[in-house]
Amino acid sequence: MDAARPDDARPGSALRDRIVDEVLAGIRHSVRCVSATTARPSAAVLVKGGGDPLRILGSDATRWALLRRSPARSITLDPAVWTSYRTTNPVFAVQSAHARLSRAQAGAGVLGQTPGADSTRERVRTLVAGYRGVLADAARSAAPHRLALHLDELADATHRWLDTRLPAVRTPELTRDLGRTRHVLRHGLGLAGVTAPEYL
């Protein structure tokens, strides 16, 4: 079967509505937002080749895939992307960034430093500092996809930062940066109902 049928979108759309409402409630609780604005009913959700996204992709990938697009936009999910163990898989990219930070905090990261580390670290700091604002905006606008997109961006910056190799001397400042970044990823994944593994 080469393409998903329109009828296959119905269960996926209902699942998307449930996940969006659940995550939005969690975000609003986190930032103490009492906005009554609700998310729009979700557009179609299709899986390439057809079938149930939870069964084909698993819970973590399904939740992340359905959260990172505005509910008003239809989605066609490609199992080849969402089940891969590569950073081209958005949920794996975020989870593996968290796992790498966990290893780095435990002292298992690669030591030594290369040019560019300062600029990539500053990008990570900026995204970490902006996290609470993103949550507040997502809560007010009934737009939980903004949480997922922010964590996508933070995960990409984190991988780039860690790829530059960390300084051999772990200063208190570096320790704080590692801890704060890991906390944001863990907190955001938790709001999304996605696991934050220590190891991958």
Which part of the chain has CATH 1.10.730? 90-192
Cα separation, 82 vs 66, whole angstroms? 11
Work out the burial of residue 98: count CB atoms within 10 Å of its CB; fewer than 13 is exposed, 13-18 middle, 19 or more buried: buried
Burial class (CB in 10 A: 0-12, 13-18, 19+), 83: middle
Residue keyed to tokens 């930062």: 161
- Whether residue 22 contacts residue 147, with contact meaning beta carbons closer than 8 Å, is answered with no
pLDDT tens digits for 126-138? 999 999 999 999 9
- At 30-48, the pLDDT tens digits run 999 876 566 666 778 889 9
User: How many of the other CB atoms lie within 10 Å of CB of 195?
Assistant: 14
| pTM summary value | 0.88
Which residues touch 183 (CB under 8 Å, ≥6 apart)?
none
Reply yes or no on whether the pLDDT at 155 is more than 50: yes
- CATH architecture, domain 90-192: Orthogonal Bundle (1.10)
For the CA atoms of 182, 187, 121, 89, the dihedral, rounded to the nearest 10 degrees, stands at 90
Q: Say what the pLDDT of residue 36 is.
A: 59
pLDDT of residue 60: 98
